[in-house]
């Protein structure tokens, strides 16, 4: 059994409890954020996370950690507050891939919602989305907005099931702006819910250009339902929390253009 890191066992136990409480509340933790909040070095946080992983209490990923139940765990959309500044930078960088005119697909998710918030008024663009919040954001900005019908999942406020699938299958878009709960070289892009995985996969197939918007904490994670391979994605817009060597590996091994904002 490994010994608790960080000197005083009492202080280490307190840090561990804070880490686990934060993880339960937010669904993921950032190593940088933990170091700042706890007033310790990044090395201490790294040892804390290693210790907790060895005890089976969390799973380390790039830049932080996720719950051990993350293969099926899904934080409700209202509780997804982590990495706000990173998502805002991703949203601004993703605007570069917005066409001057044409059809776009916007997947559900907090990073794609940040992208929708960052869009300028663009009357020559028509959009299709399965996200209620994104549809409402886009409505006053774009030439036309189509909400894909179907059952609304309360966890994500997104439509799913057969009606939404039939609608997507009739669409051909210039660009799809996609979200993901997890992406890894072994398992590709994945998400906890089977019906949303089907919709996301249909979005990938429906677009000429596929742009994935995902903060660095999603890289290296896996969830239950796979909906695309990494090679199916043309561009990943992420943040600088993803190490440059990992970004280079995604380009070299899977042909993905990686933008670190």
Domains of the chain, residue spans:
9-66, 77-260
The pLDDT assigned to 3 comes to 42
Cα–Cα dist 155/145, whole Å: 22
The end-to-end CA distance of the chain, in Å, is: 40
Q: For domain 9-66, is the CATH number 2.60.40.10?
A: no
Cα–Cα dist 91/115, whole Å: 4
Cα–Cα dist 255/234, whole Å: 7
The helix/strand/coil state of 140 is coil
Q: Count the neighbouring beta carbons within 10 Å of the beta carbon of residue 260.
A: 18
Phi then psi for residue 23, to 5 deg, are -65, -45
Cα–Cα dist 125/43, whole Å: 47
> What is the DSSP code (8-state) at residue 217?
G
Q: How many angstroms separate the Cα of 220 from the Cα of each of 71, 79, 246?
A: 12, 22, 10
The per-residue pLDDT string of the chain (261 residues; one tens digit each, 9 = 90 and over) reads 344 454 577 788 889 989 988 887 677 788 999 999 999 999 999 999 999 988 888 888 888 888 775 455 555 555 455 688 999 999 999 999 999 999 999 999 999 999 999 999 999 999 999 999 999 999 999 999 999 999 999 889 999 889 999 999 999 999 999 998 899 998 999 998 999 999 999 999 999 999 999 999 888 888 889 999 999 999 999 999 898 999 999 999 999 999 999
Parallel/antiparallel/unpaired status of strands 158-160 and 173-178: unpaired
Residues 6+ apart with CB under 8 A from 155: 74, 76, 77, 193
The pLDDT assigned to 72 comes to 52
Cα–Cα dist 123/140, whole Å: 9
The pLDDT assigned to 83 comes to 82
Parallel/antiparallel/unpaired status of strands 142-147 and 102-106: unpaired
The pLDDT assigned to 77 comes to 54
Q: Count the neighbouring beta carbons within 10 Å of the beta carbon of residue 67.
A: 19
CA nearest to 116, candidates 177, 61, 71, 169: 177
The pLDDT assigned to 250 comes to 96
The pLDDT assigned to 69 comes to 56
CATH architecture for segment(s) 77-260? 3-Layer(aba) Sandwich (3.40)
């Amino acid at each position: 059994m490994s010994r608790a890191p960080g000197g005083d066992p009492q202080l280490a136990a307190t840090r561990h409890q804070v880490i686990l409480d934060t993880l339960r509340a937010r669904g993921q933790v950032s190593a940088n954020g933990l170091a700042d909040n706890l007033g310790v070095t990044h090395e201490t946080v790294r040892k804390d996370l290693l210790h907790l992983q060895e005890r089976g209490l969390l799973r380390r990923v790039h830049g932080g950690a996720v719950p051990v139940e993350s293969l099926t765990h899904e934080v409700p959309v209202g509780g997804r507050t982590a990495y706000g500044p990173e998502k805002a930078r991703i949203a601004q960088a993703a605007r570069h891939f917005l066409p001057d005119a044409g059809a776009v697909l916007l997947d559900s998710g907090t990073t794609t919602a940040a992208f929708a918030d960052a869009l300028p008024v663009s009357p020559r663009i028509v959009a299709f989305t399965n996200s209620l919040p994104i549809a409402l954001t886009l409505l006053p900005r774009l030439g036309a907005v189509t909400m894909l019908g179907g059952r609304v999942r309360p966890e994500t406020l997104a439509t799913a099931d057969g009606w939404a699938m039939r609608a997507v299958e009739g669409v051909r878009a210039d660009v799809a702006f996609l979200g993901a709960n997890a992406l890894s070289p072994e398992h590709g892009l994945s998400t906890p819910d089977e019906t949303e995985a089907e919709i996301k996969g249909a979005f990938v197939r429906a677009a000429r250009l596929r742009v994935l918007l995902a903060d660095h904490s999603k890289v290296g994670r896996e969830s239950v339902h796979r909906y695309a391979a990494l090679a199916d994605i043309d561009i990943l817009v992420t943040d600088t929390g993803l190490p440059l060597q990992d970004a280079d590996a995604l380009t070299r091994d899977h042909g993905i253009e990686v933008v670190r904002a």
